[in-house]
Structure 1
Amino acid sequence: MSDNLYAPPQADLAAPLPQAKQPPFYVVSRGKFLTLFILTFGLYRVYWAYKNWKQFKQDSGEEMWPVARAIFAIFFTHALYREADARLKHNGQDFKWEHDGLATLFVVVSVASNILDSLARKNIGYPLVDIANLLLIPALAWITWLGQRGLNAAAGDPEGRSNARFTPLNYVFIVLGAVLLVVVCLGMMVMAL
């Protein structure tokens, strides 16, 4: 403290500012999650898995590769949901969800989507295979959202309010996805004629 009454206040610059603790899992609201998942044709699930594993790694200190777990999410979704369920139980939270069933459903629908993608690349079953694959996107989005509800609860934000706003980058992907969706639908209509 200075004796000069008119001197500017002095801050202790040597003391580190307290860091806000990041939640143990990626938190996102339902509207944002479903919009990004559907309009990116399901590619959002790679980012979603990466963010969950990255935050879990930072929170737990466990050695893992979040990128690999995101790319191969069908092998790691059960473990992710189990970690969230363990966190919920440890914190005494009463959140009802069938985490193993949701993870299994995620895997089954993801594998079915990959099979349909392979068939579509070989022009087998056109246009029914493409239509079926497009219809699986919202189904997989909803299944994954049901799992995300448990992750949100385990992170202490059941409604995902802390990540409900769209960022400028989100809007870029929304516009690109909407344009691509229109082009795909128009292309399928033209091919059907």
Structure 2
Amino acid sequence: MFISENPYAAPQADLKTPSTGASTFFIVAPRKLVLMVLLSQGFYTFYWLYKHWSAYRAATGARVLPIVRAFFSIFFLYALVMKIKQALDLKDPAYRWWPRCFVLGWIICAFLPFTYVWFVSSLTALKVGLCFAIAQVAMSVQIQHAVNHLENDSTGQANHRLTWANGIWICIGVSFWVIAISSALGLGAFVVEQ
């Protein structure tokens, strides 16, 4: 049994060994995020938001339903980004980013494709929709940069490799892209007629 020299002294922590606690939010490399969202035709966005809420629930014990919050992301993205902002303000108040602007832009890019799709040709809708998707991914990357900075992994090294599951989602997304492009170009009717 070890007896301290001063029984009234506060216990001293070993500051040389880093804590290996779970992260509060989902870490992913920005390049992987861009690749997965664009090639999976946005399906990865649902998984990305689900993993953020799931990690938050595991780290804080908050009573949230990650699958519901990911599915209704339009309504819950602001809450998620504000939680990221609060944690980042405590850790590094000097970190500069515009969370409210990113959330507002993300939501606008998610809603706008549903407003014009009936008024323009399918090819124009595809082009404009792709532009909005790229803008939405850019805002998602800015949010992810803040998360990675918060979790002390600015490059996302903890999650930078593509897995076989990522490959499956890319195949599904690319097949949807092929269908959307062929439909927009009118190639689907040409194949059916022959």
TM-score category of the 2 structures, normalised to the smaller one:
0.7 to 0.9
TM-score by length of 1: 0.79
> Which of 131, 135, 140 is the matching residue for 1:135?
131
User: Pairwise mapping of residues 26-175 of structure 1 onto structure 2 (< 5 A)?
Assistant: 26-92=26-92, 94-116=94-116, 119=117, 124-127=119-122, 128-175=124-171
Write the distance in 2 (CA, Å) between the matches of 1:115 and 1:42. Answer: 18
Write the distance in 2 (CA, Å) between the matches of 1:188 and 1:129. Answer: 8
1:23 partner letter = S
Residue identity (%): 22
1:92 partner letter = D
Write the distance in 2 (CA, Å) between the matches of 1:188 and 1:73. Answer: 28
Is the Cα contact below 8 Å between 2:37 and 2:44 reproduced in 1? yes
1:39 Cα deviation from its structure 2 partner: 1.1
Q: Secondary structure at the match of 2:184?
A: helix
Is the Cα contact below 8 Å between 2:40 and 2:171 reproduced in 1? no
1:94 Cα deviation from its structure 2 partner: 3.1
Tell me the matched-pair count. Answer: 170
Judge which range, 134-143 or 64-73, deviates more.
Answer: 134-143
User: Structure 1, residues 35-77: CA drift from partner, whole Å, max 9, x if none?
Assistant: 1101111121111111101101111111111111111111111
- Aligned-residue CA RMSD (Å): 2.3
Is the Cα contact below 8 Å between 2:102 and 2:143 reproduced in 1? yes
TM-score by length of 2: 0.78
Q: Secondary structure at the match of 1:178?
A: helix
> Which of 174, 181, 184 is the matching residue for 1:178?
174
Structure 1 stretches of 5 or more lacking a match? 1-18
Task: Determine the structure 1 residue equivalent to 2:4.
Answer: none
1:58 partner letter = A
1:93 Cα deviation from its structure 2 partner: 5.5
CA change 1:57–1:70 in 2 (3 A) is same
Structure 2 stretches of 5 or more lacking a match? 1-18
Q: Secondary structure at the match of 2:112?
A: helix
